[in-house]
A = this chain, B = another copy of it.
Amino acid sequence: MAEQAEGFRRSREARRNALTDDYVEMIADLIATDGEARSVDIACRFGVTQATVAKTILRLKREGLVAAERYGALHLTDSGKAKAADARARHQVVVAFLKRIGVSPDIAERDAEGIEHHVSEETLAAFARLSG
Task: Tell me whether A111 and B98 are in contact in the complex, defined as CB-CB below 8 angstroms, given that A1-B45, A6-B47, A45-B5 are known contacts.
Answer: no
Instruction: Kindly state whether residue A110 has any CB partner on chain B within 8 Å.
Output: yes
Bound complex: CA of A82 vs CA of B105, how far in Å?
30
Q: Counting chain B CB atoms within 10 Å of each CB, which of A106, A119, A123 scores highest?
A: A123
Main secondary structure on A side of the interface with B:
helix
Give the residues in chain B near A46, CB-CB below 8 Å: 5, 8
Q: From B109, B113, B114, B120, give the contact of A107 (CB < 8 A).
A: B120
Q: Which residue of B lies closest to A7 (CB)?
A: B110
Identify 19 new A-B residue pairs, CB closer than 8 A, beyond the known A4-B45, A15-B18.
A1-B44, A3-B106, A5-B45, A5-B46, A7-B113, A8-B46, A8-B113, A10-B113, A11-B110, A11-B114, A101-B126, A101-B127, A108-B123, A111-B118, A111-B120, A114-B118, A115-B115, A115-B118, A118-B118
Chain A residues within CB distance 8 Å of chain B:
1-11, 14-15, 18, 22, 44-47, 98, 101-104, 106-111, 113-115, 117-120, 122-123, 126-127, 129-130
